[in-house]
Every structure is written in structure tokens, then in C-alpha cells.
Chain A
């Protein structure tokens, strides 16, 4: 693994332009002040109640994600590059979803193998032939980006199901503005606070065409026990829409209604944070108590829009991911602006042989996995762990892909020993509505708080940072 790209410092020790003010400020500010602000930030987060649950932990309901007070900074030029690449990527993803549930041209052209789509658990046969308003399937995408050098951004993962984390992006900024007004005064930072407005406008723009009046948008949550419940209630509040659970909704004659104190009220757009499997017990898992019986019938009749559409999860599949450069070319006739991490698909024999031989230097991931679970980081794993993983991989090769260990870029981060570089990634949130694609500048930066660690997932001890995109 080559040396990681330091986003603040150049190889010769000089400071990159975007970080010049921050670097000066870090030298001026006494370490105890930084530490004091860090604790203050934690207090604020706890007071707001911004917590998440980690599955499998008993007293998990009230955990905080560590917040790092040193911002991550990008120049305007860097952001514009990224923005173009993200827009292109999401456009292609949308066309891909539309195609596989429609004409299936990409399969007929042999660009993506049939069985990767048809046998994929995230592919929903029930969506076949389904049309959606303005042909938009992925209204909200979270694209995970890593940086390896001055000009190269890689897409690490596409999240087109129900990407979360945007509440942290918004809260991180709020808290930074409260704690470091002087630092803000020294920079011109593009705002992110208009995200909820843009999200609401996006959702309203994709309401069923027959809705003439102001569409009724609701947010559907699995409920208080979901790990992202805080985010659901936070967003519903910011959007000014009702936060509903499945039992608050019902379907009658192919329209969706919510139960209110004034009687049933029609629902036009559902921003759903429930997985496909659980949204309608009449179509998907019959044991689901979280969903709405008959919702799919209203959806198929075109009387309600779901964001994201049902069946978009196939874009999250890491084997599908590996075809993205070809997918972009197929639909747009353009070279992809954002790179893909080179990926070995273990479903293919030659790839598998290579992977088995190089386990100690590769990262191996489950194709349907997320949150950093069930993955092997070869260079950091023990011999025993590698051998155990080898058995798992051999038993079901099609469930895995492998990638080289990327040298994720680093950012200055507040740790016990003072300020030190730590590895980061970035999740920008891409909104697509009838009037095109919008991305608020920045996103959620996740940081691996442990020295040398490349795992940024909050479920595995990762933290977050505010992400600044400089104006100009």
C-alpha cells in the first residue's frame, strides 16, 4: 500500500491552498481550547439526542457517533469536478434501473450479464414493467467517494436504497457554526442548510401526475427502534412532513391514506426509509408488520410515488458496481468522470483464483453487505482470519468481490495525542427530481478515528466531520 494522500499537507511539508487558513488557525489555537470545544460539541450532540443504535449491542439505544471538530476542506475546483462526476454517475444509475425493469437493453447487448440481474436478491421482479413519474427511480443517492491523490476520486460504493447520514451532515455544520464562528469568518463556505428544502422540492416534483394540488408528502419510518430513527424524525421535522409508520397508512381502492384526527387524508409521495422487503406484506414478506398492506397496488396504479423506487437496491450490489464504467458508457456514450476501484468478481473463476492467491493484500467484501460488516481487510488480518475467510469465500464465491487496499486520503483530526492525520471518505447526497439533479456542496465525511484504520463506518467506531467546500 502506497503512502496515503494527505489532504492538508504536500509531500514537502507545505500546506495546500484550501487548508491554509485552517492550518494557521490550528497553530494559533491552544490545544486545551480545542479539547474544550470537542467536549462542548459532544455535550451538544447528546442534548439534541442525535444517537444511533448498533445492532447486536444490548444497551445500544443511546450511542453517539464521535464527532471531530476539525473540518475537512475541499476547494471549489475540486468540488466542481466531483459534482460533475456524481451527476453523471447517478444519471447512469437511473437509466440502468429504468432499463432493467423495462426494455432490458443492457442485458440484450451483453454489457451486464443476465444472471447478475435476474438472480440478484435486490432485483424485484414485481417492478418489471412499472413506470414511475419522470422516469426517476433513484431520487436520493448517497455515493461513497474516496480520494487517493490530488486529482483522483474513486467511487467506493453506490447507495441507492435508503442512504442515511444526511442528518449528520446538517447537524455537524450547525454545531461547527456555534462552536467556531471565528473560523467561519475566515472562510467562505458553501452552505448545506438548504438540503431539506431541496429534498422537499425534489419529492414534490415527482408526485403522481394526476395530483393537481400541493402534493402530500410523508416520510415512512420503521419506527423508534430503527437505528436511524433519529435521522427520520430530524428530517421529517426539517421538511415539515408527517413522520408516519406503516400502521398510520392504509390503502383503499388503490389510493394511500393516512389516519389523522380529522379522518383519512390522501398521501401522494412517500419518502420511505423501509427496505423493499418490508413495505407491503401482500407483495413482499408476509410477516412484515412495518409496511402497508396493498401499498404496491397503489404504487403500480400510479397513485403514489415512492422515493426511492422499489428495486433500486440492485445498484448497491458490489458486483453490479464493478460494471459501472461500462454502464456509464452504454447509456451516456461518455467516459466515466469518477473512477471505479478495480474489482475482482469472485463469481468468475479466473478472478476467484487471483483473489484466493492474494487474500493478504486485498479487501474482500460481500456483494450485498453494507456497514463494513462481513468484510476482510487482507493486510490488517491475522493468518487465521484469512484462512477462515478463505473457506467462506470458497463456499459461496458469487457472494464476494475483492478490491486492492486503497490508500484513503487523510485529514487532520483531533485525537488523544493532539492533531494527527486520519483516513477519511465522503458521502455526498445526490437529489434527482423532475427538474434535474442537485447536490448540496459537501456531504458527510466519515473518519477512521484509530491510527492506520481504514474502516470509517460508524458501526465500527468511525467518526464524522463537517465538510467544507470553499466558494470560488
Chain B
């Protein structure tokens, strides 16, 4: 297939995934900030949301203060922010339009319908209720797109490239949450803080839709190192780094199987997966959680560059 087509599919999926992630962050932040101060401490949750979204520099160029109004506008509706939910959906749609013939009707309907409906929300929510509805709608739109891709696409390179976009973006998102919130996850003796953090842990899990999963996996109350374990190493947890890399390797293998050729992208993905498989939480804590996550984000970016280099140019 055309490199540009593959590139468009890859980014289409990334943008949709990113929009959903932003909605989850905003949702979790809204909940946290609604709690009495006594339960969450004095940290600025809205600033933390901007950090987690990875656009703090751009944000503070435009605003002085990270409050609910500014952050909501910037992360959800701003046209100046190329990574706002609105921009993500618009970019997703323009990528989709450029590769109409590579999409199934259902996928086109999903993304085009989302884009049309986006206009209904205008430049921002009239109320918190409406904003909550908006966030739910974003998540549902993403699920609809994802589901239509999963259920209707031929299992060929077009599908595999679009999945690669999903998993690469997802790995990046999960890693970013961990990068911002890592201090909450450090073992007890290494950090300051206390029972207040319970709601923060819950918020982290919520932003990767893993709150229920946590209880099923560990059958325990929220423990920070288990939260970290779930998000980094548990392959059965769909948004964990390990799970994302299991999927990246699988899709790259499918591509190299069909093309009868392997390259640097495959090798790098396998290497990263092996590292995740061979890691254990106590080892990670020993080396430093923050360093581990920082390295992962760099490696994951390199992974994206390798895929682009090998297939998409």
C-alpha cells in the first residue's frame, strides 16, 4: 500500500486514541477537584492535567493560571492547541478523508459522524453537566471508531498500521500519566504523603479505565506499587505498557509476515517487549521509577520514528 495511506491510517488512529485519553484525564481531574481539599491535598489538579497531557509549555504560553476554565478550554476545545480534543478529531477526520478508500463505510461513518457532531458542542460547555456529557461522548466516539475498525476492516496491512497507531499512542499516554504521578506510586518509605493519595490512585486508574480491572486482578485495596505494576507490567491490562508492546510486536509481525521482510522497527519492538517481560516491579523501583518511565517515553518515541522510517516515508 501507499506509504502515505499507511501514514494517514496510523495517525488517524493515534488522534482518535489521544482524544479519548484527553477526555479521561479531564474526567478524572474534574472528579478530583470536586473532592474536599482534605481528601486530595493542596496540589493543583488542573495543572497536573496539563502536565499529563504533555502540553504544559504551550499552555503556559497562552495562560497564566491553570484553572478549570483555562484547562478545559485548552485541552478540549482550543483550536490553538494542536492536541486538543477538537483538534484531534479534526485531524483524524482530515486524515480519514485523505484515505477514504482505505476505510470501511462504518469507519468513515464513525469518524465523519463524530466530526459533524463536534460542531454541536461549539466552543465550550455551557455547564459542568454538559461538559460531562461531552467527555462521555468523546469516549463513546472513540469506542465506536475502534469497534468499527475492529469489526469491519480486512486483516491486512491497512488494519495493522492503524492498530500500530492505537498502541503506540496508548503506550505514550499511559507512560505520561505515570511520569507525572510517579511520586504517588513510590513505596511508602520513599515518599511523603499519606492516606490522601488514595483518591489520586483511584484517579490514575480511572484515567486509564482500569479501576474495576484493578480489583479483579489483585483482589486487594489500592496499593501504589500494585497500581504501578498494573499499568506497566500486566499484559492482561489493555492499557499497560506491556500489553501495548505485546500488540505492537504482534502487528509488526503480521506486517513482516505479509511483506516477507523484517527491519529495524520489528527488532526494536521485540527488544522493548522483552525488557517489559523481564522486568519486575521491585527492580524498577530499585533503579528508579521515574527514570524507568522517562526512558520508556524516549524509547517509545524512537519506536514511532522507526516505524515511520521503515514504512511511512
Contact = CB atoms under 8 A, between A and B. Distances in A.
Interface of A: 49, 223-224, 233, 236-237, 242-245, 247-248, 258-262
B101 A260 contact: no
A243 B101 contact: yes
Contacts of B5: 242
A262 B310 CA distance: 9
Given A224-B98, A243-B101, 8 more contacts: A49-B100, A224-B97, A233-B101, A242-B2, A258-B2, A261-B3, A261-B259, A261-B311
Nearest to A244: B2
Of A242, A247, A248, A262, most buried by chain B (CB within 10 Å of CB) is A262
Give chain B's interface secondary structure class. helix
Contacts of B191: none
B157 A261 contact: yes
Given A49-B112, A233-B101, A236-B101, A260 B2 contact: yes
Contact of A261 (B6, B94, B108): B6
Interface in B77-117: 94, 97-98, 100-101, 108, 112
24 contacts: A49-B100, A49-B112, A224-B94, A224-B97, A233-B101, A237-B101, A242-B1, A242-B5, A244-B2, A244-B4, A245-B4, A247-B4, A248-B2, A248-B4, A258-B2, A259-B2, A259-B3, A259-B4, A260-B2, A261-B1, A261-B161, A261-B255, A261-B311, A262-B259
A260 B98 contact: no
B128 interface: no
Contacts of A224: 94, 97-98
A461 to B, nearest CB: 25
Contacts of A258: 2
B120 to A, nearest CB: 16
Contact of B313 (A49, A242, A245, A259): A259
B69 to A, nearest CB: 29
A471 B86 CA distance: 53
A248 B3 contact: yes
Q: Which 5 A-B pairs rank lowest in CB-CB distance, beginning with the nearest?
A: A237-B101, A261-B311, A259-B3, A233-B100, A261-B6
A193 B312 CA distance: 35
Interface in B158-180: 161
Of A49, A244, A258, A259, most buried by chain B (CB within 10 Å of CB) is A259
A224 B91 CA distance: 13
Contacts of B101: 233, 236-237, 243
Contacts of B312: 261
Contacts of A236: 101
Contacts of B98: 223-224
Nearest to A241: B101
Nearest to B97: A224
A243 B8 CA distance: 13
A244 B102 CA distance: 12
A400 B202 CA distance: 75
